[in-house]
Structure formats: C-alpha cells, structure tokens
Amino acid sequence: MESIVLYTEEIDNLSEAAEELFAQAEGFKLHKNTLGVLFVEEETDYPALYELLSSHWKFPIIGCTTLAMLLAEQGCTRTGISVMLMTADTCEFAVDMTGELDQENYRTEITALCKSLSGALPTAPKLVLTFGGMVASEQNVPGDEIVDAVEEALGKDVPIFGSVASDGFNFSNYRVFCGDRVTKSGQAVALVSGAIAPIFFSTNSVENRADVSYKVTKAQSNKIMRLGSGTFVEALKRENMEVSKQNVVGDYFLSPFVLSVDLGGGDVAEITRTLSLLNLETGTGVFLGAVPEGSIVRLGILDQKDVQKSINQAFEKMLATLSASGDGRHTLLCTSCAARYLAMASNTDAEAQAYQGRLPANLSMLGLYGNGEYCPLRGKTTGKNHNFFHNFTFAIMAI
C-alpha cells in the first residue's frame, strides 16, 4: 500500500481548491485500486467539492467533517481540505454508506451493507475503515452498537478503525461523506482486502479522577437510568453538576465518566465515556458510547499534561514498532478525541508536536479530531485485539 496526503487551505473557491489538490498529486502513481479518505472543516460545500474531484478522480472517496486536521507538515489546522490517497495493486477496496440510521434499523442496515461489500471483494476483508455520526438524540446509534453490528456481519477478527464526525463544537454541523452522498446519522464503510496487516495503538488521557464513585444499577447500552439508589440526574445534582437542560455534551466534554469493562478472556480495560444528553423526565443520561450495567463509574478531569503525555506514548510505541519491523509501512491514519483538542487550550498544536520532525521520509500521515474513535484495543492478558469504540482517546493505525 502506498499513499500520499494532499492539503489546501482554500474552501471558498472550490475550483481553485481542487486544482491545488490535483497539482499536489501529479507524479504520484495510482495503482490498480485506490481509495480517497477526505476530511474537511464544517463550512466546506462537500457536494460541490465532490463534483469537482470526481471529474478527475475515478475512485471512491469517504470521509467526514472535523474540528481540526493533523498533518505531517502543517501540524494541526482547523481550516481547509485534506485527502489521503491510498493505492495498491495487491489490495482491494469496497465502499458504500448506509441510509440514515436509528435504533430500529441500524442492525439490519449495517449487516446488509457489510455483507454486500464483503461479497464484492475477491478475498475476505482484513480491515473495516468507517466514519459515522454522533449521538445527538436518543434515537441515534452509539458507536458500540455499530461495532457489534459490523462484527455480527463480518466476525470479530476483522479490525475496525475510524471516527465519529465532528464540527466546531456546535455539535450540529457534522456530516459524513461517501461518494456524492452526505449523511448525519449514516455510516460510511470501506472494506479492505488483500496484502495488508494493519497495526494499531490507542492511548487514553484521563488520569485525574474525582473521589466519589457510583455503581450503575440500571443501564441499557448507552443510557444510564440509575446510579446507586437514585436516578442518574439525581446523582449529578448531588455533585452540583449541570442538569438544567437536555443537550449537555458541551458542558461535560472535559469531564468524562471513567469505568472498567470486561473484554472477555480475562482482558479488562479502563475506558471513558462522554455524556451527551439528559432526559429530565426520566432522569436518564445518554452517552456517546455504551456504559455496562454494574459498572463503577467515576468522574474524570481532562488535563493538558495527560493529553501531551498520552500522544507522546502513542507515537513512541508506533515509531519504535515501525523501525523494528523494517517492512516499509507507508501509511498512518490517526483519530483523536475533540475533547483532547479543547483540553490543550491555547496550545492546540501540542499533539502535532509529538510527531513533527520524527516521521520517516517514506511515511504519509493524516489525522482528524472526532467525537468518538473506532480502534482495536489490545488485551493485556491475552494479547488479542478487541474491536472497540472509544472516547477521550488518541488512536493510530499503520498500514
């Protein structure tokens, strides 16, 4: 697999933007099969951009809006259009997107899509690359349920990597793209087969915890109904937390809920979850990801030092692994939680500082800040990769 990352700051004159991207790709050889992964700021007119790109590029494109992009040369930027072209003679891509998903149809839609894409490939898929919308209502589907549906269709051994779309912290202008289609709650999926063996690292950045903890006594997927002997909202009131409105994702973006989950086979992981919505009638809290019943949860505090430490660890591990392998891996895709960006305050380039000047010359890299991260989590006991949906995490994949 070979790749190149293209970038332009231009979003107002899309003809000029497309020409800049085409010019940067000149001299880069496209092989038999190519996939474009595209990230843009929320103000970009994607349908108009795609019409221009597709007049020149005859390969599938998927992607989403993002709060900010991570680029090898430019570092972290909130403006512009970025696209990675991944191309190979020995890999195949099958790409499509579901319709709008809700709690009633997501499993049928995801299963049908994954089976259709898998059937279009000459060999079994070795990677799922996916982008989706966030939980903005109780009918939206949390990332964990997407993972479960994909695994039901393809099996647990196919790794899943990707992100939930983001925007400029208004939590309403995010979009997901696939070809000429745009969605807010659909799931764009690319299956990759052939000569690839992706490797993954993920790191969590929440080390500070409040003293108080609660047991989740009633929950369903991403909804907590009761903490201890009272409702979820009652527990928040006791801690003087925000409970006066329905949409609270912005209020809790830097205050994640920390818990442990059983991954199976003796593997246990500590994870974090973002509170998105409150149902003030039932006292229920709705999260971006699932919170298992019986979990012990504590309130975390996202800290700039911890964010910087965790991304340094991720790149140290990845670059050491690439150096030791000597197999010429050429492509890095990264997903970072948008809350991490917010935690960096004025030093928004801090995550980029972890890799700038350290990447091998033959390696291309593209990343985004999303509202949730799909990345396999390696079990400490078994060493096995478990597909997982994360919050507050930096995740990185090398192909």
State pLDDT tens for residues 30-48. Answer: 999 999 999 999 999 999 9
The per-residue pLDDT for range 355-367, each reduced to its tens digit, is 888 888 888 999 9
Class of domain 208-301: mainly beta
Q: Where in the chain is the domain with CATH 2.40.30?
A: 208-301
pTM for the structure as a whole:
0.94
Average pLDDT value for residue range 255-283: 91
216: amino acid identity, one letter: V
Instruction: Collapse the DSSP code of 221 into the 3-class scheme (helix H, G, I; strand E, B; otherwise coil) and give the result.
Output: coil
Q: What is the pLDDT of residue 327?
A: 67
Q: 265 — alpha (psi -120 to 50), left (phi > 0) or beta?
A: left
Residue 28 has pLDDT above 70, yes or no: yes
Q: How far apart are CA 312 and CA 266, in angstroms?
A: 28
Q: How far apart are CA 386 and CA 160, in angstroms?
A: 9
pLDDT tier at 328, thresholds 50, 70, 90: low
Closest by CA to 127, choosing from 89, 96, 93, 83, is 93
Average pLDDT value for residue range 297-324: 82
Beta strands 223-227 and 373-374 are unpaired
Q: What is the pLDDT of residue 195?
A: 94
What is the total residue count of the chain? 399
pLDDT tier at 211, thresholds 50, 70, 90: confident
Residue 161 has pLDDT above 70, yes or no: yes
Q: How far apart are CA 252 and CA 179, in angstroms?
A: 34
More confident residue, 303 or 53: 53
Q: What is the pLDDT of residue 82?
A: 98
Distances (CA, A) of 17 to 45, 50, 57, 106, 177: 12, 11, 14, 35, 18
